[in-house]
Amino acid sequence: MQHFMKRIGLSGLLAAAIAFAPAIGATAAKADQFINILTGGTSGVYYPLGVGLAKIYSDNMTGTKVQVQSTKASVENLNLLQQGKGELAFALGDSVKMAWEGDAEAGFKEKLDKLRGIAAIYPNYIQIVASKDSGIHTLADLKGKRVSVGAPKSGTELNARAILAAAGMTYKDLGQVQYLPFGESVELIKNRQLDATLQSAGLGVASIKDLASSVAITVVSVPSSVADKLGAPYVAATIPANTYDGQTEPVQTVAVVNFLVTRAGVSDQTAYEMTKLLFDNLTTLEASHKAAAQIKLENALKGMPIPLHPGAIKFYKEKGLM
């Protein structure tokens, strides 16, 4: 899921992470509290945002040691939270919902009952892109075609299953299914070994930009009826015209919101400060990754699939959102 976005100033972000990470092991015993932020792959969006948040928390929460952990993203993050191995995690909304329900198919062996919400953050757009030669224009056109749906049980692949189901299709309707990360999917399309790829990512994702600069593409529309059928945390969305080379018209699709999640064992004060400092420092966070520009206080509670942490509730009541 998190292999999408090119590295944006990552060397600087890594340096920032390293600057405050080594001291943690030696001094954690002296710290009043410890926050481990669970993110994703270092080339994704979760990781740089996690590093940015860690810096904000370190600068503003006295007696607190903060660490950023690179992970396989949503599913792993939520399981780690349940086990008490993190205090804050990034995760896709549908993964959060399935974790709360204990969906074994999605990678959750039991109901993750310790999860608590902090905030809805920015959306991932479902971007289905086909080579122009394939003749694919609509979801129905994917039938009988060679399609990559993302790495197995990744957030992207869970999105792919849900969207096809809402359109009355399954993987069996496709001619061939490949479970590949973004970069590999694009290379196969370039080599005419694949017809289309579904990628759940921020707009302007590097892999699709690369594809569009190499071959003529079609961005496949997903009708709003699919979003209506899926319901929260999915919403109807539009990929603006010229997001990618050759895409001259806006394209309808579906987006799924990312969430920041904590767990029941985190103190009310810590959860309150984590929530408040996030929204008080959005401009600073944008320097870590441009996706932060889409985080809005007025959207913080939209589609939240789990109970809010009492500390977060306190913050939202102060802001008049609850």
174 lies in the same domain as 223? yes
Domain count, the chain: 2
Domain membership of residue 207 (yes or no) is yes
Burial of 95 per CB tally in 10 Å (0-12, 13-18, 19+) = buried
Q: What is the mean pLDDT of residues 164-179?
A: 96
pLDDT greater at residue 42 or residue 199: 199
Q: Report the alpha-carbon distance of residue 197 to residue 288 in Å, rounded.
A: 28
Phi, psi (rounded to 5 degrees) for 10: -70, -35
What sign does the dihedral 18-20-23-24 (CA atoms) show?
Answer: negative
Domain holding 147, by residue range, is: 124-256
Q: Kindly tell me if the per-residue pLDDT of 53 is higher than 70.
A: yes
Where among 233, 256, 279 does a domain terminate?
256
Domain membership of residue 4 (yes or no) is no
**Looking at residue 11, what is its pLDDT?**
43
Could you read off the pLDDT of 13-33 as tens digits, one per residue?
A: 444 444 444 444 433 345 689
Residue 179's pLDDT band (cuts 50, 70, 90):
very high
Q: Kindly tell me if the per-residue pLDDT of 44 is higher than 90.
A: no
How big is the chain by its Cα radius of gyration, in Å? Answer: 20
**Looking at residue 62, what is its pLDDT?**
94
CATH of the domain at 19: 3.40.190.10
Q: Report the alpha-carbon distance of residue 196 to residue 185 in Å, rounded.
A: 8
Classified as helix, coil or strand, 238 is: strand
Q: Kindly tell me if the per-residue pLDDT of 190 is higher than 50.
A: yes
Q: Report the alpha-carbon distance of residue 245 to residue 230 in Å, rounded.
A: 30
